[in-house]
Structure 1
Amino acid sequence: MGQTHSQEPVSTEELSARLTQSFATKCLTPLELYIFKAVFKAHAHSSSDLAHWPQQTLTSFLNLPTNPGLPISHVIFQLAAYVGAFPFPSGAPAILTNEALLRVVVVLTGRHAKVLRSDRHMWEREIWRGLAVMDRGLEVEKSRKDEPQKQDESSSAVGYEIDQPLDDDEEEDDGEDELVLAAFDAMDATAAFAHGERSNVQHAVVPTDNFLTVIMFLLLIAPLGAQEGLKKYTADLDEELLQDLRYRAHAILTSFGTESHAGISYKIFRRVIASTLPNLFDPLKNLFEHFFYPPDFDLSKKAKEFKPSSTEDEKDKENKDTKAAEIKKSRPLLPDPIGELITHPILSQLSFVLPSSILYHNMSLLYSGSEDGFSMPTFQSSVFNWQSPTILIVSGSILTQANSSTQSRQFSTSLPYKRLKPSVPESTPVTYAAYIPVPWKQTHKAPFGTRDIILFQLTPQHDVFRTSGLGLSFAYFNRHPAAYSGLGFGSPLAEESISNAARAARRGSGDDTLPLGPVSLHIDDSLTYAVFTHDAKSGGGAFAPSMLPASCRLEPSSSELEVPLPSSLTSPVTSPGAPPEPSRTHPRRSPQTSWQDIFAIDALEVYGLGGVEVAAQQERARVWEDREAARRRGINLRTGDIDADRELLKLAGLVGQGQSGGSMG
């Protein structure tokens, strides 16, 4: 008789041991493994002959802050205790033994990717699970929804599915534990996974208070390097910094819909992280890299023992890395001098979207309206010679109808007649920003920029607006007497981006307002007022609308304002990029939020990215332009003192004070 051979069951302990061994040999170098074991042994506590790390030990080793205003210790320990049970979530919270802590360090530093087939969102999901708790309310609600419906209800007509509104918030998670499955696959134990446990993400949420604390902590440690001690950033954790961290963290937290949801579900978490906070958890990697760079551990002797001889290419790379680290160390974390808008927390907020390597130790203040004056010529002379990426930040307060001035009313009348609700009540502060990866220039004939330009809403809610691929009106800078003067992003205001026929048609019909883009930021030519428009019902703009789930956007604060149309405007102008009316082939989607923030500018600043080398290049170009301005005006000072020459030219009104320094544009 034939016999069937069945694979003997493997215990969870054996599978965990296999994975830990794979992590140790394939994800860590021999030197790193030696350091980790030595660090664990030096700090381990023993209970019932079991060596482990309690919460206090992990807190002390990582130098986590103990300030009651930032209670992060228990949250990080909860995360570690969950990941320590990987890949068996039912084993959480795990005791942090040597093997469990090794799994924590390998997963949270991202080194697991050397063994497991996974992408970034799988790693982020493990972090979400480590922060989440079961929500019994959701579990009861789900069980009610799963009850079979009555026969008469099931037979009733419900219409076509295409007629039902589609809400992106209802998108179901696929439920697959890809990272866990990859772990079993790496251990040749996929069958065990198929019959084993899975973590349910549908009945769990991350508590709002805990997540606010996590965001505050990540804002604090965002600049942390792998070999830096955390005390460098926690030593100055006073009440003023805590308030700034809390303010920025709350703006980010609102993006997860905490105003309308109790806790943060995985569906919301994944959507928001992917669209607006792709680098949010990166600081955790360097935090747990601390296990390989302990401050009280002498690596010099052991490094030589474990390290093989380097090739010439490896030595060149090491020398370059060392030189780059020395240059970085010599530069301040924040720009010096610094303006009003850039702080440690706001720079960290930007680093959750942009690479931190281009921000920290790498910024120069090019223009500050408060210091240099709010004028387009001064802006141009300060910014245009910078040949690397820049960041523009503008803040102000929503205009009030009660306190409007003649100038503010003139600005308002230059805007399209249809007004949208502001995102916040009148007089509330708002902050917007833009990342511009190319040098600035005047837009005589066409807009400038690339598809890598990004717009940000930083307060009162964090949001990100990337280019849509549907238009090229990325950025413009138009000085008087241009038809539409000012600077901004997302509107077709460059001189020739609007055809003469279209412009004549608009003016002939009595409509001489600014043709703002559906998603756009416009600053007037006096740099006094600005407007950010987010018209989710329009289409065809250079920037895509918000990717936040509809239920996560803050509700606009007041009713929509409609400015009476002139009598000559008898019919509305339809945008050529407007979406078609819903039909059987175009299903309705849940409406996204539209808003329009018209605000008086309090501060406007531009920062150059690129460090001291680019700053020196810009200074040389500025000096050359000053001398060229003097030469073209028939002035030859020949004092030999550049600074003195510049001051004399300022007194003569030829440079500075709103002059462009000789630009012929």
Structure 2
Amino acid sequence: MGQSLSDERSAPPSHDELTKELADKFAQKCFTSLELYSFKDVFKSLADHEHQVRYLKEGTVARFLEIPDVLGVSAVLFQMLSYLGAFPFPEDAPAVLGLEQMVIAVAILTERYRMVLTGGVMGRRKLLFKSLAVYDRSLSEMHPRGRGGHASPASVQPSGFAIDDSGGNEDAGFDDDDDDELVRAAFDSLGYISALEHRSPPTLHGAMIPADNWRKLVMLLLLIAPLDAQDSLSTYSKRLSGDELENLKATADCVLQSFLDVERAPGVKLSRFTTVIPASMPFIFNGLTALFEHFLFSKNLDLHRHTGDKPQPASKPPEQTQPLLEDTGSIMNLSILSQISFFIPGSSLFRRLRLLYSGGEDGFSMGSFESKVFNWRAPTILLVSGTRLLDEPGHVHPGPASAFLATLPSQRFPPGNTSGDEGERVTFGVYLSQTWKHTHRECFGADDTLLFQLQPVHDVFRASTVNKDYASFTKPSASVPMGGISFGCPPPQPTQAYRRSSILSLGPVSLVLEDSFEFGCFTHNYTSQGGAFQTSVTRKYDFQDRFEISSIEVWGCGGDEEAEHQAERWAWEAREAEARRKINLGTGDIEADRALLEMAGLVGANRSGGSMA
């Protein structure tokens, strides 16, 4: 009898038993009773039957989530689900997506797993990488999982995804044991931590996400970035045709350039994945939360129905009347806005941006910039776009371009991307939480200032503590002949006329816009290890992009309160300007009085007369 009890105690639970126990934990602690009821109802309405097993197919999931066919991402998304559904046994992937497997997958994708597991974002990030990766050197296509691209109980084998261990190890330093952070936390929560000793999980060596698969997923992530839990993805259909679709593709390509050179590398390695995302796009997967929370809202559930009433479909949630982007700009569009939301929380961007200044509409001048931007008492985003200038021996530029290039230090670096062609479009930006002001002896800005590049490569340069030369706004004057707007550069120092310098002072990682807004220069001196802004985590070399500005605009981050405050200040300035224009000094000669005021610099000469900056 004692021997029998000992045998029962030593017998480890099966994978199915542990999966069910973990799913029960997630169901009880990660979802409310109403959400779990809706989840079960949705699953029941979608599930297919085979061998007395209910499960979801790829096409079923894609139709329910309204995944657009034009993106071609359904198979990629289903591979992710099938892998996460096997958690905490990745060696069993792809899993048949029964209710328990879906509960686990949705809990991980919506980050609700944190109510049960202690693993952090790094563990989830690695888990998502493995859910998207393949282990075949050819990487020519995803491995089939049954007819029609879906996993069925008859076709799934517990051998996992095909593995090819040969090839170079570019993920040195990432131990497979360390990669199982969430798996270890799952077994610990179940009280079976000893079961880890008998596991043989797939190795990460040679694993990579195929470039085409990653591009498709990035396009989806850009599309769903502003999605709310009860928003229908079909409402974004306008973004999937014409110029909107081309913008989406172009933006996805810029993001993809952060991870790999598609002409040289077939896919994204773990080391690159876990380096780029936390530094340049920590919120890239946020849209998955709202997308998969759709499983928690049943259309058959109507909370307003009384007992005895006939079942009625649940009423659709009211549509958002305010557009995602209220104004239009020459640079900013919905795809660019989604790209920015990868590193600035979308709650501060979508339905909250207002166009304050546009060079094309308001004039390319620092005076126009000041009058439109300085009154905004909330964070701002500056975007500047242009075409790259070549600066090679023997290459002749027109007068203005040549004059600008002559103001740059003699030490020049090559362009920031592999092509570096003249005329290639480049786009840079800056996020400032502080209000704009004139620079005198020190710069302004805070340690949350962000300098970033959107095109042709996505990159983010975060503020450092080396110095605080974050932002500078200096109009040219007798003592400061070279004004302009700069980020990451030391503030212009007043000089005597005979000591005037004709060379700009560039910071190690900096963006400079000269005072006429005709030309700009971005510098990345990696050798110097950065200044006010940190160097790139991916482009570990010196580069410089010199460009002719075609568009510049500033967007205010805020709601109606900030906009109302700015409108009040504009109205006050207009009244003051009008009062000064009509002022009479009492001489009886209005024209003479006005000439005297102009000599004093109070009116005329392009002065508004009302600036309080």
TM-score range (shorter-chain normalised) is 0.7 to 0.9
Q: Which of 426, 432, 439 is the matching residue for 1:436? A: 432
Partner of 2:537: 547
User: Residues 484 and 493 of structure 1 are in contact (CA less than 8 Å); yes or no, is this contact kept in structure 2?
Assistant: no
Equivalent residue for 1:450, pick from 440, 446, 461: 446
1:300 is paired with a residue of what secondary structure?
coil
Matches within 5 A, 1:452-601: 452-481=448-477, 482-495=480-493, 512-539=502-529, 541-548=531-538, 553=539, 592-601=540-549
1:60 partner letter:
R
1:301 is displaced (CA, Å) by 4.7
| 1:220 lines up with 2:223 in the alignment | yes
What's the CA shift for 1:655? 8.8
Q: Distance in 1 between matches of 2:512 and 2:97?
A: 54
Deviation track 1:575-627 (CA, whole Å, cap 9, x = no partner) reads xxxxxxxxxxxxxxxxx221111111000000001022211110110111122
For 1:657 and 1:598, locate their aligned partners in 2 and report how far apart those are by CA, in whole Å.
32
**Quick check: 1:63–1:230 contact (8 Å CA) kept in 2?**
yes
Out of 261, 276, 280, the residue aligned to residue 280 of structure 2 is: 276
Q: Distance in 2 between matches of 1:627 and 1:117?
A: 60
Pairing 1:56-71 to 2, within 5 Å after superposition: 56-67=59-70, 70-71=71-72
Structure 1 position 236, deviation (Å): 4.4
Residues 521 and 533, structure 1, Cα contact 8 Å, conserved in 2 = yes
- The answer to whether 1:630 aligns with 2:578 is yes
Matching residue of 2:266: 262
Match in the other structure for 2:325: 334
Contact (CA 8 Å) 1:447, 1:494: kept in 2 or not? Answer: no
**SS at the partner of 1:520?**
strand
Q: Does 1:602 align with 2:550?
A: yes
The one-character-per-residue Cα deviations of 1:555-588 (angstroms, maximum 9, x if unpaired) are: xxxxxxxxxxxxxxxxxxxxxxxxxxxxxxxxxx
Question: Could you tell me the percent identity over the aligned residues?
Answer: 41
Q: Distance in 2 between matches of 1:456 and 1:170?
A: 27
- Alpha-carbon contact 1:258-1:264 (below 8 Å) kept: no
Question: For residue 156 of structure 2, what is the aligned residue in structure 1?
Answer: none
Distance 2:287 2:216 in 1: 14
* Partner AA of 2:400 in structure 1: Q
Q: In 2 relative to 1, CA 231–658 (structure 1 residues): closer, same or farther, beyond 3 Å?
A: farther
Cα distance in 1, alignment partners of residues 44 and 612 from structure 2: 69
Across the aligned residues of Structure 1 and Structure 2, the Cα RMSD in angstroms comes to 2.8
1:407 aligns with 2:355: no
Alpha-carbon distance in structure 2 between the residues aligned to 1:212 and 1:302:
48
Instruction: Answer with 468-477 or 242-251: which moved more.
Output: 242-251
Secondary structure at 1:354's aligned position in 2? coil
Report the CA distance shift for 1:121/1:344 in structure 2 as closer, same or farther (over 3 A): same
How far has the Cα of 1:355 moved from its partner? 0.3
The 3-state SS of whatever aligns with 1:442 is: coil
For the Cα contact (< 8 Å) 1:630–1:654, is it kept in 2? no
CA apart distance, 1:143: 5.4
- In structure 2, the partner of 1:621 is 569
Shift in alpha-carbon separation, 1:188–1:339, aligned structure 2, 3 A: same
- The residue correspondences of 1:291-440 to structure 2 (distance < 5 A) are 291-301=295-305, 329-336=320-327, 338-400=328-390, 402=395, 404-423=397-416, 424-440=420-436
44 and 142 in structure 1: CA distance in 2 versus 1, 3 angstrom threshold:
closer
Residues 446 and 495 in structure 1, CA contact (< 8 A), matched pair in contact too: no
* Contact 2:223 2:335 survives alignment (8 Å): yes
Q: Secondary structure at the match of 2:63?
A: helix
- Kept in 2, the 8 Å contact 1:629–1:654? The answer is no
Contact 2:475 2:515 in 1 (8 A): yes
CA contact (8 A) 1:378 1:659 kept: no
Deviation at 1:237, TM superposition (A): 1.4
| Secondary structure, counterpart of 1:61 in structure 2 | helix
Shift of 1:100: 1.0
Residue 82 (structure 1) shift: 0.8
Q: Is the 8 A contact 1:208 1:258 kept in 2?
A: no
How many angstroms apart in 1 are the aligned matches of 2:378 and 2:137? Answer: 52
SS at match of 1:458: strand
What is the distance in 1 between the residues matched to 2:19 and 2:121?
22
SS of the aligned residue for 1:523 comes to: strand
Deviations 1:329-360 (A, max 9, x none): 34221032x11111111000000000000100
Q: CA separation in 2, counterparts of 1:391 and 1:658?
A: 26
In 2, Cα distance between equivalents of 1:429 and 1:655 = 40
Give me the whole-angstrom Cα distance separating, in 2, the residues matched to 1:349 and 1:597: 21
Deviation string 1:94-121 (CA, Å, 9 cap, x unpaired) is 1111111111111111111100011112
CA contact (8 A) 2:187 2:195 kept: yes
- How big is the shift at 1:400? 4.2
Q: Which residue of 2 aligns with 1:210?
A: 213
Gaps of 5+ in 1: 147-168, 304-324, 554-591, 637-652
Structure 2 stretches lacking a partner, 5+ long: 140-161, 308-316, 585-600
1:464 alignment partner, SS class: strand
SS at match of 2:466: coil
SS of equivalent to 1:133: coil
1:279-321 Cα distance to aligned partner (Å, 9 max, x none): 1111111100111124454243599xxxxxxxxxxxxxxxxxx
SS of match in other structure, 1:19:
helix
The whole-number CA distance in structure 2 between the counterparts of 1:140 and 1:114 is 33
Amino acid at match of 1:205: M
Kept in 1: contact 2:164–2:206 (CA 8 A): no
Q: Give the match's secondary structure for 2:610.
A: coil
Aligned length: 551
**Contact 1:378/1:658 (8 A) holds in 2:** no
Q: Distance in 2 between matches of 1:301 and 1:451?
A: 52
Q: Classify the secondary structure of the residue corresponding to 1:206.
A: strand
**CA-CA distance at 1:229 after TM superposition:** 0.9
Corresponding residue SS for 1:410: helix
**Cα distance change of structure 1 residues 120 and 217 upon mapping to structure 2, 3 Å threshold:** same
Aligned in 2, Cα 1:300/1:201: closer, same or farther, shift over 3 Å?
farther
Q: Secondary structure at the match of 2:257?
A: helix
Are the equivalent residues in 2 in contact too, given 1:448–1:476 (CA < 8 A)?
yes
Report the TM-score, using the length of structure 1 for normalisation. 0.78
Query: What does the per-residue CA deviation read over 1:432-491, in whole Å, with 9 as the maximum and x for residues that have no partner?
Result: 011011110001231100011001110110000001110010000001213430002000
Letter in 2 for 1:266: L
1:397 and 1:602 in contact (8 A); partners too: yes
**Match in the other structure for 2:80:** 79
> d(CA) in 1 for partners of 2:72 and 2:357?
38
Per the TM alignment, residue 64 of structure 1 is displaced from its structure 2 partner at its CA by 0.8
* Alpha-carbon distance between aligned partners in 1 of 2:75 and 2:306, rounded to the nearest angstrom: 34
CA distance in 2, matches of 1:145, 1:617: 59
Q: What CA deviation, in whole Å up to 9, does each residue of 1:175-232 have, x standing for no partner?
A: 2200011110010010001221323222211111000000011111111011111111
RCO (CA 8 Å, sep 6+): is it higher in 1 or 2? 1
Q: Distance in 2 between matches of 1:381 and 1:656?
A: 15
Which residue in the other structure is 2:153 paired with?
A: none
**Does the Cα contact within 8 Å between 1:105 and 1:289 map onto a contact in 2?**
yes
CA contact (8 A) 1:519 1:534 kept: yes
Q: Deviations over 1:527-552 (max 9, x none)?
A: 1110000111124510111011xxxx
Judge conservation of contact 1:625–1:662 (CA < 8 Å) in 2. Answer: yes
1:32 aligns with 2:35: yes
Residues 1:485 and 1:464: Cα distance change in structure 2 (over 3 Å)? same
